[in-house]
């Protein structure tokens, strides 16, 4: 059992702290957002993540986790002084695509000013290569009196929507440090999970995170490029992906053509990696192409809508007088995260063309309402479909996978369905009377 402090109680910090508490450790989570901390103290979750609320409440009741806004409270608890402190603050996209490190800097400074005993500082935020050394310098230069500490990089690989399972059954745990003993102390925490633990140097650990996310993003853009070609040549990308996926060297994961990647990680991480390369005078051509294909995936959906129900107006009124239903606002299913959400981008493009938009998402409506203007947010799926000239399936929520097609057809003004996630069978949709377009389903379009 270890005493752990976690700085930042968002998707990563809250899941990390809660899972470590569930493994029997004593955890204190710090956040600068007072409302968030107050809610957490009362068992109210700031984010939607399956299984999280129950786990947080259970560990609060067992006295293994608590929440505070005070670094002193978290680090220097007299009964349980922290031995290990995780930094899990946000690192959003900054200017030029560079990762914004001001929250990491502030966390490192606060730790340095507050710590009254030796600590291992573990960076879980996704940060540019070299940040571990930078954090080390910040702590050293900010401490009022020198107190020994070590810095370990421990990038996080969890997926929103499956965060607890991913944390508890990791494919690997990566630890990077110049201090082998500090890395071993962090490794001890992960032993109960029985996953492979890789110990390397700081910079390599930081790079593993970027390279992994960039590779997954590349797979997504690759299959979207193939989808585009499939549409032109009359092949079906779903079958192509299935056929490719049987090859163990390729694998089926991340070969779903659709709206491209979104969310708080891939867009910013691919951009940040390209930025790091550019700064070093390298030319990350593959990463540039990955990003361009990803932007196009969103545009192509809007083009399909225009081609099917658009009028001949200018770009400002190509969809004037049309009502479009959008099913899903989160960037993927099982999360309420709308950062870099593809559906939200698509809605803005539709609105720029003069369309009226009505939308529904099972959990992301509250977050989306803060970003969207002039969108009718509906109570349920069928309200969002009613009276539409076209419906876009934008997030692969389970509840959109088995819609009542007859009811849907009756409710729509014109039965046009653009399936951005390839949830439906093109033949079945045609048979049910819909004008249906998926992504890369060339066979269906040609027939």
**Residues tagged active-site:** 265
- Residue 62 DSSP one-character state: T
For ligand NAD, the closer CB: 160 or 389: 160
Which strand ranges, in their side-by-side order, compose the sheet holding 26-30?
65-68, 26-30, 3-7, 84-87, 119-123, 149-153, 173-177, 197-200
Q: Is the dihedral of CA 212, 213, 218, 224 positive or negative?
A: positive
**Residue numbers of the site for ligand NAD (CB under 6 A)?**
7-13, 30-33, 36, 88-91, 103, 106-107, 125-126, 156, 158, 160, 264-265
As measured in angstroms, the least distance from the Cβ of 406 to ligand NAD is: 38
For ligand NAD, the closer CB: 113 or 410: 113
Neighbours of 100 (CB within 10 A): 15
For ligand NAD, the closer CB: 31 or 353: 31
Q: Tell me how long the chain is.
A: 447
Distance (Å, whole) CA 46 – CA 225: 37
Q: Which of 285, 227, 284, 281 is nearest to 259 (CA)?
A: 227
Residue nearest ligand NAD by beta-carbon distance: 10
For ligand NAD, the closer CB: 29 or 259: 29
Name every residue whose Cβ is closer than 8 Å to that of residue 342 and which is 6 or more positions away in sequence. 259, 260, 262, 297, 298, 331, 394, 420
Check: CB of residue 224 under 8 Å from CB of residue 256. no
Structure token pair of residue 138: 């910040």
Strands 323-327, 390-393: pairing is parallel
For ligand NAD, the closer CB: 33 or 143: 33
Structure token pair of residue 290: 């990955």
* CA distances from residue 90 to 11, 103, 212, 265, 283 in whole angstroms, order as listed: 9, 7, 19, 10, 27
Check: CB of residue 172 under 8 Å from CB of residue 235. no
As measured in angstroms, the least distance from the Cβ of 153 to ligand NAD is: 12
In DSSP terms, 151 is beta-bridged to: 121
């Amino acid at each position: 059992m270890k005493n752990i402090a976690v700085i930042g109680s968002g998707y990563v910090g809250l899941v990390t702290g809660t899972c470590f508490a569930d493994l029997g450790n004593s955890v204190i989570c710090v956040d600068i957002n007072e409302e968030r901390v107050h809610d957490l103290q009362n068992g109210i979750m700031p984010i939607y993540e399956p299984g999280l609320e129950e786990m947080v409440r259970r560990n609060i009741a067992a006295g293994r986790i608590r929440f505070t806004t005070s670094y002193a409270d978290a680090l220097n608890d007299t009964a349980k002084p922290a031995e290990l402190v995780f930094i899990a603050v946000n690192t959003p996209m900054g200017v030029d695509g560079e990762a914004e490190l001001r929250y990491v800097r502030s966390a490192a400074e606060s730790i340095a000013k507050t710590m009254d005993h030796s600590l291992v500082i573990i960076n879980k935020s996704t940060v540019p290569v070299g940040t571990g050394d930078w954090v080390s310098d910040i702590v050293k230069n900010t401490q009022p009196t020198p107190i020994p500490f070590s810095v370990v990089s421990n990038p996080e690989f969890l997926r929103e929507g499956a965060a607890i399972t991913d944390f508890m059954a990791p494919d690997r745990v990566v630890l990077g440090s110049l201090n082998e003993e500090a890395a071993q102390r962090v490794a001890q925490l992960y032993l109960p999970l029985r996953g492979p633990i890789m110990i390397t140097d700081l910079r390599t650990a930081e790079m593993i995170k970027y390279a992994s996310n960039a590779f997954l993003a590349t797979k997504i853009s690759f299959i979207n490029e193939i989808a585009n070609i499939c549409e032109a040549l009359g092949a079906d990308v779903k079958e192509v992906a299935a056929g490719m996926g049987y090859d163990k060297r390729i694998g089926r994961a991340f070969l779903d053509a659709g709206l491209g990647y979104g969310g708080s990680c891939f867009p910013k991480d691919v951009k940040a990696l390209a930025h790091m390369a550019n700064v070093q005078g390298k030319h990350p051509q593959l990463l540039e192409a990955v990003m361009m294909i990803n932007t196009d995936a969103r545009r192509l959906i809007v083009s399909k809508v225009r081609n099917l129900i658009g009028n001949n107006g200018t770009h400002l009124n190509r969809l004037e007088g049309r009502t479009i239903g959008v099913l899903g606002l989160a960037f993927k299913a099982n999360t309420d995260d709308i950062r870099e959400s593809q559906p939200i981008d698509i809605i803005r493009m539709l609105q720029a063309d003069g369309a009226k938009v009505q939308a529904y998402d099972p959990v992301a409506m509250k977050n989306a309402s803060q970003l969207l203007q002039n969108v009718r947010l509906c109570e349920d799926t069928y309200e969002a479909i009613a009276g539409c000239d076209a419906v876009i399936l934008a997030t692969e929520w389970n509840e959109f996978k088995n819609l009542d097609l007859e009811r849907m057809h009756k409710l729509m003004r014109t039965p046009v369905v653009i399936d951005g996630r390839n949830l439906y069978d093109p033949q079945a949709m045609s048979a049910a009377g819909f004008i249906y377009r998926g992504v890369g389903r060339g066979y269906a379009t040609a027939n």
